[in-house]
Structure 1
Amino acid sequence: MNTTEIFLIAMTIIFTVPYLIWRLGKTDYHAPLVVVQIITGILLGPGILGKIFPDYYSFVFNPAVIQSLNGIAWWAVMLFVMIAGVELDLKKAWAHRRESGITAGLALGVPLVFGCVAAAFMLGFEGWMGSKALTWQFVVGVGMACAVTALPILILLMEKLDVLRQPIGQRILRYASLDDIAIWGVLALILMDWERIGRQGAFLFGFGVAAWLFHHLMIRLAERDRWYVALIWLAAVSFGADWAGLHFMVGAFLAGASMEAEWFNQEKMDMLRHHVLLAVMPVFFLSTGLRTNWDVGGAAVFLAAGLLLLASIGGKLIGVRIAGRILKWAPGEASIIGWLLQTKALIMIIFANILLDKQIITSETFTALLLMAIASTMLTVPIVAPKLAQLKSLILRVA
Structure 2
Amino acid sequence: MSTTEIFLIAMAIIFTVPYLVWRLGGTDYFAPLVVVQIITGILLGPGVLGRAFPDYYQFVFSPPVVQALGGVAWWAVMVFVWIAGIELDLKKAWAHRVESGITAGLALGVPMVFGAVAAVLLLGMGSQWMGARAHAWQFVVGVGMACAVTALPILILLMEKLEILRQPIGQRILRYASVDDIMIWGVLAVILMDWSRVGKQGLFLVAFAAATVLLRRLMRAIPARDRWYVGLIWLAVCAFGADWCGLHYMVGAFLAGVVMDAEWFDQKALDGLRHNVLLVVMPVFFLSTGLRTQWGLEGGAVFAAAALLLVASVTGKLVGVHVAGRILRWQPGEAGIIGWLLQTKALIMIIFANVLLDKQIITSETFTALLLMAVGSTMLTVPAVAPRLARIKDLVLRAS
| Fold match by TM threshold 0.5 | yes
| 1:115 lines up with 2:115 in the alignment | yes
Counterpart Cα distance in 2 of 1:76 and 1:128: 28
In the TM superposition, what whole-angstrom CA distance separates every residue of 1:277-315 from its partner, at most 9, and x where no partner exists? 000000000000001111051111111001000000000
- Residue 304, structure 1, aligned to residue 305, structure 2: yes
How far the C-alpha of 1:224 sits from its partner, in A, is 1.1
The residue aligned with 1:52 is: 52
Where has structure 1 moved over 6 Å in runs of 4 or more?
none
1:95-106 to structure 2, matched below 5 A, reads: 95-106=95-106
Alignment of 1:88-167 (within 5 A): 88-126=88-126, 127-167=128-168
| Letter of the structure 2 residue corresponding to residue 93 of structure 1 | A
- The corresponding residue for 2:264 is 263
Change (3 A) 1:43 1:351: same
Provide the secondary structure at the position in 1 that maps to 2:390: helix
**What CA distance in whole angstroms lies between the structure 1 residues aligned with 2:272 and 2:26?**
24
Residues 75-134 of structure 1: CA deviation (Å, up to 9, x unaligned): 000011011101111110010010000000000000000000000010012210011100
1:204 paired residue number:
205
Segment of structure 1 superposing worse, 300-309 or 218-227? 218-227
Root-mean-square deviation (Å): 0.6
- 1:349-364 matches, cutoff 5 A: 349-364=350-365
Question: What does 1:305-320 align with in structure 2 at a 5 Å threshold?
Answer: 305-320=306-321
Amino acid aligned to 2:151? A
Equivalent runs, 1:1-399 vs 2, <5 Å: 1-126=1-126, 127-399=128-400
| Distance in 1 between residues matched to 2:159 and 2:145, nearest whole Å | 23
Contact 1:120–1:139 (CA under 8 A) maintained in structure 2: yes
One-letter code aligned to 1:136: W
Deviations along 1:189-209, one digit per CA (max 9) or x if unpaired, are 000000000000000000000
8 A contact 1:333–1:394 mirrored in 2: yes
How many angstroms does 1:172 deviate by?
Answer: 0.4
Aligned partner of residue 46 in structure 1, secondary structure: coil
Alpha-carbon distance in structure 2 between the residues aligned to 1:392 and 1:296? 49
Q: Distance in 2 between matches of 1:9 and 1:215?
A: 43
Deviations along 1:319-375, whole A, 9 cap, x unmatched?
A: 000000000000000000000000000000000000000110000000000000000
Shift of 1:380: 0.4
Q: CA deviation at 1:237?
A: 0.4
CA distance in structure 1 between the partners assigned to 2:146 and 2:297 by the alignment: 20
Deviates more, 1:263-272 or 1:142-151: 263-272
Counterpart code for 2:44: L
Secondary structure of the 2:125 match is coil
d(CA) in 2 for partners of 1:347, 1:272:
17
Query: What is the Cα deviation at residue 41 of structure 1?
Result: 0.6
Q: How many equivalent residue pairs?
A: 399
For 1:316 and 1:267, the matched residues in 2 are separated by 32
SS of the counterpart of 1:291? coil
Give the partner amino acid of 1:158.
Answer: M
Q: 1:398: how far off?
A: 2.8
- Unaligned stretches of 5+ residues in structure 1: none
C-alpha change, 1:145 and 1:296, in structure 2 (3 Å) is: farther
Measure the CA separation in 1 of the matches of 2:151 and 2:195. Answer: 29
Distance 1:348 1:273 in 2: 18
Cα shift at 1:55: 0.3
Q: Is the 8 A contact 1:113 1:143 kept in 2?
A: yes
Tell which deviates more after alignment, 288-297 or 172-181. Answer: 288-297
Asked if the contact 1:344–1:377 (Cα under 8 Å) also holds between the matched residues in 2, the reply is yes
Partner SS, residue 133 of structure 2: coil
Question: What is the one-letter code of the residue matched to 1:230?
Answer: G
Does the aligned pair in 2 maintain the 1:296–1:364 contact within 8 Å?
no
> Residue type matched to 2:81 in 1?
V
**Identity, % of aligned positions:** 76
Q: For residue 68 of structure 1, what is the amino acid of its counterpart?
A: A
- Greater CA drift, 64-73 or 262-271: 262-271
1:222 deviation in Å? 1.6
Letter in 1 for 2:259: S
Q: Secondary structure at the match of 1:186?
A: helix
How many angstroms apart in 2 are the aligned matches of 1:296 and 1:181? Answer: 38
Q: Aligned equivalents of 1:132 and 1:237: distance in 2?
A: 25
TM-fit CA distance, 1:43: 0.5
Structure 2 Cα separation of the partners of residues 188 and 398 of structure 1:
36
SS of alignment partner, residue 360 of structure 2: coil
Do the aligned partners of 1:93 and 1:178 also contact (CA within 8 Å) in 2? yes
Q: Partner letter of residue 296 of structure 2?
A: D
For 1:107 and 1:27, locate their aligned partners in 2 and report how far apart those are by CA, in whole Å.
28
The aligned amino acid for 1:263 is W
- CA distance in structure 2 between the partners assigned to 1:179 and 1:18 by the alignment: 30
